[in-house]
Each structure stands twice: as structure tokens, then as C-alpha cells.
Amino acid sequence: MLRRLLLAALVLLAPYALCGRPTPLTLGSFNIRMFPEPHTDLEAVADAIVELDADAFAVQEIVDPRVFRTVLDRASARSGRHYQVALQTAHCPRRSGNPHVGVVYARYAFSLLESRMLGEFTCPEGQPAGMFALLRATDGRRLALASVHFTANNTARTRAERMAQWTWLADALPDLRAELDAPVIVAGDFNSTGYRTAEDPERAFIDGLVKARGLQLPSAGLDCSMYWQPTRGTFAPSLLDHVLAPGELELGPAAALGMCAALACAPQTEPPAAWRAVSDHCPIRVELRL
């Protein structure tokens, strides 16, 4: 009898215990290489967005916003997420082809309060290309998701530029958090060419900065987030895409999807199908509980 009473009490109290737990949100990032390129398969890009299955995600290298919105409509129809996007030109420095950075959000999960360029149009030293969207969840929680695109390539000069961009970003986050009265999560293509190697100075710099500023990098454990072609007939994995967040937030480990998951980040001798049809980058995602 006592056992039955205890079970009944647990059943009755379970909804009350759960109601205090916020619903997890799925965030992500996806660099869709100079979208759309001549060989881009729009249906495959839509499929990748459906697989990402995020409530909100950062995007980079969107060259044609009109075509991208068409793809989002296709992904929305398949997923039921009703995606919208806020885009800004990727200033600081400008890139050829007029690419945009942006934040995609599902209307059932978020409403957009504000979006604008991250930083100043004067592009002070160290400022990366970036923008942010201030979002409000259906339960009233506020979140700022920023999309960034750091300097590419693996030279002494470009590595020094990225170090300055990491420092600029870390310096900017506290003031932005106070201004928006919301936690700020940054996702995007940080172009961290050295991060996949544990002893690389670029990784040491990033990890040291993240720790010193009380931040967290849930993407640190990824095996890769993209494939590049160092030589003819070689397609090597690399880890360029990250999610950067305040240390006090509760986030799960990041996951890389698409070809990165399918190939387990193993080197290839032929270009993966998605490498041509979708992007050299894979979508990444992480779960957040505000």
C-alpha cells in the first residue's frame, strides 16, 4: 500500500518538478561556402539545415540573401520550424563577393528584438566581421546570438590577425551583455587553422583566453568541422567553427554533422559529395539551457 501511495505521489508531483526546468534550446553555426556557388545543390543545403534541427543558428558567406531565403523556406516546409534570417554585410575587412553573416531563427521558438553589426563601421583594429541578433524566446527568455567570420589562412600574418580578433571579441562581450541585458553566445567560422593540434600555439592562445575571461568553448572537443584541400587528391579535416559562451551558461558538448559525422573526420582522397554540393564546412550544434 505504501509503495502504491509513493508511486502515485511521484506521478502527481512530476509535472511540478519539470515545470521549473527551462526547455533546452538548440543553437548552431553553418558556413555555407560563398552561397550559392555554381555547383551548390539547393536541395542538399536545405537538407543540411533540416538535419541541423536548430532553434537558432549563425551563418556565414551568404552571398545571395534572396536565394538563401528560398532555401530556408524549403527547410521550413520540411522541418516545420518556420525559419527567418537577419543578415548583415561582412565588414571588417570586406571580402570579395559581398558575403553576409547572419542569424537564422525559428519563429515558433524566438522573436527578433534587434539585429545589427557587431562593432563599428569604422572597423577598429582587430574587429572581425560579425553581427548579432537579440532574440526573445516564447517564454520570455532573452538571448543574443552573434555570428562571426574571422580572417582565413594559415600564415604568420593571418594568425596574428585572428589573435587580435579573439582579443577584440573577448573585450567586447561584457559591455554587449550589459547593454542587451541578455547572455551573448558567439558562433561562427573562427578560421582556427591550428586548433585541431593540441600543441599548436593558436590553440594554446585560444584556450588561455577563454579560461582567463571566464568563457567556455563547447566546440573544443570536436574532431573537425570542415574539410580542406592542402594538396591535389587530399582532403584533410580541420576545426574552424566554434561556439563561444559565458562560463555560467549550461551547454552540452557540440556536435558536427553532415560529412564530418559521416566520415568521422577521417582524411579523404576524393572530395566528399557534400564538399561540392553544400559546403566545405559542416553544420555544428550545441544544446543550451538558459
Residue 227 backbone phi and psi in degrees, to 5: -125, 140
Pairing of strands 142-149, 184-189: parallel
Report which of 188, 177, 247, 175 is spatially closest to residue 217, judged by C-alpha positions.
247
Alpha-helix residue ranges (DSSP H) falling in 142-221:
156-180, 201-212
Residue 136, exposed/middle/buried by CB under 10 A (0-12, 13-18, 19+)?
A: middle
pLDDT at position 97: 78
Other CB atoms within 10 Å distance of the CB of residue 81: 23
Report which of 161, 196, 172, 137 is spatially closest to residue 244, judged by C-alpha positions.
172
Q: Which domains does the chain have, with CATH numbers?
A: 22-289 (3.60.10.10)
For residues 150 and 190, is the Cβ–Cβ distance under 8 A? yes
Q: What are the residues facing 242 on neighbouring strands?
A: 188
Distance of alpha carbon 138 from alpha carbon 130, whole angstroms: 26
The CA R_g of the chain, rounded to the nearest whole Å, is: 20
Return the DSSP state at 239.
-
Distance of alpha carbon 145 from alpha carbon 285, whole angstroms: 13
Sign of CA dihedral 289, 58, 200, 92: negative
Q: pTM of the entire structure?
A: 0.92
For residues 130 and 148, is the Cβ–Cβ distance under 8 A? yes
Helices (H) and strands (E) in the chain, counts: 7, 15
Per-residue pLDDT of the chain (290 residues), as tens digits, is 445 544 444 444 444 344 455 689 999 999 999 999 999 999 999 999 999 999 999 999 999 999 999 999 999 999 999 999 999 999 897 777 789 999 999 999 999 999 999 999 999 999 999 999 999 999 999 999 999 999 999 999 999 999 999 999 999 999 999 999 999 999 999 999 999 999 999 999 999 999 999 999 999 999 999 999 999 999 999 999 999 999 999 999 999 999 999 999 999 999 999 999 999 999 999 999 87
pLDDT at position 177: 98
The CA distances from residue 124 to 92, 129, 155, 159, in Å, are: 8, 11, 22, 18
Distance of alpha carbon 78 from alpha carbon 42, whole angstroms: 14
For residues 190 and 146, is the Cβ–Cβ distance under 8 A? no
pLDDT at position 22: 67
For residues 30 and 49, is the Cβ–Cβ distance under 8 A? yes
